[in-house]
């Protein structure tokens, strides 16, 4: 089901479509993820057959604001601005067509998992709403990505992310215990965030659901996954709340959360009797 495209979104997409390097423009993020609200940014993905000069990108942004951040490279190459007429933030990410094709091949054909967020690019592509498609390339790529979640990928995500929760020498729970003993709350917060990233990667993989990204993970897991660890939402809240507490409460909460995930993995036949990934 396609989202109603705002006039601002359509105007921005049209401006990028005038450059011949632009192969396609798509809307994604919360607007196509059933998670948008009145404060949601517009997230546009511009797919390029060749690099778009920064001067051209600045020219597009200048049509909507007098002050834009152009050529951000903290994560993906991107531009951002606040639209002067609507006060809506516009985020534009630039991707080469061959790069996103390689990301899909890595996940869907080679079944390579990551530490957290293994299938986010796949989900991003599937949930993108095409606004411009010069030669039909993006529509064809979406069609290629419309396939069942590979069982080999499901197993690979579990194998990559479950052991580091607490079954390896460098497991998050071990590092969490060290940070608590040191009274290092910054490190504790970091370990909890990493633990949750791998935890949710496993949860979505168990359910053969592409990972939807960083936002509203509990809500989206409850909406899209048929099989969840018992009391998942409550235990996630407890773990996050425990980060600011003294003592080892955060470690106890982490182990309880992982206990529930382990029970689910056993029920799915993804762990053997010794707790090893099958």
Cβ-proximal residues to 228 (8 Å cutoff; 6+ apart), any chain:
203, 221, 222, 264
Tokens representing residue 50 in the block: 């060749």
pLDDT of residue 29: 79
pLDDT of residue 247: 80
pLDDT of residue 34: 57
pLDDT of residue 272: 83
pLDDT of residue 85: 92
Please tell me whether residue 77 adopts helix, strand or coil conformation. coil
Cβ-proximal residues to 182 (8 Å cutoff; 6+ apart), any chain:
none
Domains of the chain, each with CATH number or no CATH: 7-145 (3.30.460.10), 151-268 (1.20.120)
Averaged over successive runs of 10 residues, the pLDDT of the chain (278 residues) comes to: 82 98 92 60 97 97 95 94 95 98 98 98 97 98 98 98 96 96 94 98 98 95 98 98 90 98 96 81
Buried b (16+ CB within 10 A) or exposed e, 46-56: bbbbeebeeee
Instruction: Please give the DSSP secondary-structure letter assigned to residue 271.
Output: B
pLDDT of residue 31: 55
**Run of H or E residues at 91:** strand 89-96
Strand ranges of the sheet holding 22-28, from the earlier edge strand across to the other edge = 68-72, 78-82, 89-96, 42-48, 22-28, 129-133
Token pair 């299938």 is found at 119
List residues bridging with 130 in a β-sheet: 26
Tokens representing residue 18 in the block: 């005038």
Determine the Cα–Cα distance for residues 93 and 91; give it in Å rounded to an integer. 7
């Amino acid at each position: 089901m396609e989202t109603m495209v705002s006039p601002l979104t359509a105007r921005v997409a049209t401006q990028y479509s005038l450059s011949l390097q632009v192969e396609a423009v798509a809307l994604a993020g919360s607007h196509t993820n059933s998670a948008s609200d009145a404060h949601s940014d517009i997230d546009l993905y511009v797919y390029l057959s060749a690099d778009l000069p920064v001067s051209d990108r600045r020219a597009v942004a200048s049509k909507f604001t007098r002050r834009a951040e152009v050529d951000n490279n903290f994560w993906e190459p991107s531009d951002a601005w606040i639209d002067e007429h609507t006060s809506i933030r516009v985020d534009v990410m630039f991707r080469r067509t061959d790069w996103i094709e390689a990301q899909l091949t890595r996940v869907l054909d080679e079944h390579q998992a990551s530490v957290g967020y293994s299938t986010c690019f796949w989900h991003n592509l599937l949930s993108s709403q095409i606004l411009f498609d010069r030669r039909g390339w993006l529509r064809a790529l979406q069609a290629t990505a419309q396939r069942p979640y590979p069982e080999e990928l499901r197993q690979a995500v579990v194998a990559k992310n479950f052991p580091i929760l607490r079954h390896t020498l460098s497991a998050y729970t071990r590092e969490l215990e060290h940070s608590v003993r040191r009274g290092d709350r910054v490190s504790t917060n970091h370990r909890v965030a990493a633990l949750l990233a791998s935890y949710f990667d496993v949860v979505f993989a168990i359910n053969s659901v592409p990972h939807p990204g960083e936002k509203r993970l509990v809500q989206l897991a409850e909406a899209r996954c048929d099989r969840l660890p018992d009391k998942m939402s409550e235990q996630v809240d407890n773990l996050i709340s425990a980060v600011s507490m003294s003592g080892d409460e955060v470690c106890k909460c982490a182990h309880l959360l992982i206990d529930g995930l382990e029970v689910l993995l056993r029920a799915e036949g993804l762990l053997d009797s010794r707790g090893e990934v099958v």
